[in-house]
Every structure is written in structure tokens, then in C-alpha cells.
Amino acid sequence: MTIDENLLVLLLALLLDRIAGDPQWLWSRMPHPVVMFGAAISYADRQLNPASLTGSQRRMNGTAAIMALLLLAVAAGFVFNRFFALFGLVGILLETGLVAIFLAQKSLADHVAAVAVALRDEGLAGGRTAVSRIVGRDPQTLDEPAVCRAAIESLAENFSDGVVAPALWYAAFGLPGLFAYKMLNTADSMIGHKSEKYIDFGWAAARLDDIANWPAARLSILLIAAGAWIRRGTSAGREAIRVAMRDGALHRSPNSGRPEAAMAGALNVQLAGPRIYGGVIVAEPMINDTGRDVATSGDIEDGVSVFYASCMVLAGVTFGLFLCFL
């Protein structure tokens, strides 16, 4: 496809995903493409990451594995692209549906909003259960403000790597770029950990994922600021940019701190800080330490509102670029 066709498909996919999200009736009957990516990654892990290998051997195998998986993803993207091209307008609609599957607007917002609902309807226990579905930290260690912070942080971080990044990779490189990004992002979530098993085998996947997400994380700042300006006024948009520029690098990830800091500024709340993962305390400084130190379920709902406005801005930018390339 040409760049204008990619932008048209992306625009339609953003709209479709915003309306339909991830229909459970479909994925209960067939495997989600990301599940198939995960199966390929798990196979590589079983075959190439035995405990008997040295660290350097694991790193070499992990690098070879992620490169092979990326080549496989790119090849699959080319095949689907060529196949859809055979069907003209119908092919464009089929590709739109496929691209929408890899976006996470409605599903992300629904999962995050469910945390606020659970806190109000079921109290802290319900909030912990709901937030455990979207974050990796130990839910039983979280009080109510920490549950709210975790939900907001997940919303901001996943806006970048679940919406903006796949949109960018598809706009620039079509289905091969989108498939490669999603394979890499899935690999990072599965093997890109600093555990004894994966610190070497997942090293290449983690480093490449950092590189792949670098542009989206910075663009997310502007999109969140624009969404905050739409929903919460000029000062909120300005604060989103100011806090992101000041505190975005405080996060242990080179990318996640950027959208999280922007959302912290937009909502005037503190985010991040010390957290517990698998019983281990991860000490990080507070992002936006001058903001409110008690996040609430109302902040979650405000964050979702800013998120949807930011998604709307992304769709608007996509439409504007489509007109420019016509």
C-alpha cells in the first residue's frame, strides 16, 4: 500500500477500535494474533534458553531468536498485505479490521475504568482485583490511592505502546512494520525481564523494544497534553508538557516515564514512587512530586477522559496527514 492508503486504513482502524474494541465473542472462538505471537516466543524460549547455558550463550541465543521472530513477523505482514491487495476495496476493509485488532483504545479504557467502578462498588478488595488484571505489581500491597495510581500509570504507559506505537509503525511501514512491532512488544513483555532466567536471553528483545517505543513515547506527551487541554483546560495541557519534560526521565524505563509524567501533570497527581513486584521493592522517585499525593477513583475517570481525547487527537492528526498525502 502507499502511504495515503496506510493512513486511510489507520484512520478507519482507529475509529473501529474506538467503537468495537476487542469483542470477546470473537476471541473466545479463535486465537488472538498476539496469542500466536506469544506461542512462537514461548517455543523459542523452550528451545533456546535451557538452564545449562552460560549467560553469554543465552544472550547470543536470545538475540538470534528475536531477530528470527521479527523476520517471521515481517514476512507474515508482507503475505497479508499482498493477499489483501488482491481484493481492492474489500481488501482495504479487511486490512482495517486486522489493524484494529492490534490497537487497544477501548479495551484499555474499559479495563482501567473498571478499577474505578470496582473501588466504588466493592471497596479496596474489588479495586485490587480489578487492577491486578492490568498491572504486574503485588495488588495486596496497594492501598486505595496506590490502586488508583497503578491504574492511571497503566493507562498512560499503554496509551504509548498499545495505541500510539502500533499506529506509528503501521503508518510508516504497513502491516510488516505493525507485525514486527507487536512481535517485539510481546517478546519484551514475556522475556524482557531482569530475572535470572531472562536477563540475558531477553536482553536483545528489551533493548530493541526500548528503541521501537522511543518515538511513540515522546509523541504521547503531545497527544496527552492536547487531550488534557480539550478535557481539562489550557493549564492542564501546559502542565502535562511541563511535568513530562521535567520528570519523564525519572522512570526506570527510558520510555514509560514520558506518558506517565504527562498524565500526572494533566491530572495534578503524583505517580510512580516505590512499588513491590514479586515481593521485591522497586525504589523509584515520585513523578510530579508537587501534585496531589492522594489519587482517587475520580482521577481514574478523569484520566480515561483525557485518554479518549488524546486518541481523538491522534485520529485527527491521521486524517490531516491523509489529506496532505492525497
More confident residue, 264 or 251: 264
Average pLDDT over residues 120-137: 92
Q: How far apart are CA 197 and CA 204, in angstroms?
A: 14
- Contacts within 8 Å (CB) and 24+ apart, 61-68: 61/201, 62/191, 62/200, 62/201, 62/202, 62/203, 62/204, 62/205, 63/203, 63/204, 65/201, 66/184, 66/187, 66/204, 66/205, 66/208, 67/204, 68/44
Q: What is the pLDDT of residues 135-178, one digit of tens each?
A: 877 888 889 999 999 999 999 999 999 999 999 999 999 999 99
Percentage with pLDDT > 70 across the chain:
98
Could you please report the per-residue DSSP string of 36-103?
A: HHHHHHHHHHHHH--TTS-HHHHHHHHHHHHHHHHHHHHHHHHHHHHHHHTTHHHHHHHHHHHHHHT-
The pTM of the full predicted model, rounded to 2 decimals, is 0.95
Amino acid at 287: I
Q: What is the pLDDT of residues 13-48, one digit of tens each?
A: 999 999 998 888 777 788 889 999 999 999 999 999
CA-nearest of 94, 83, 101 to 32 is 101
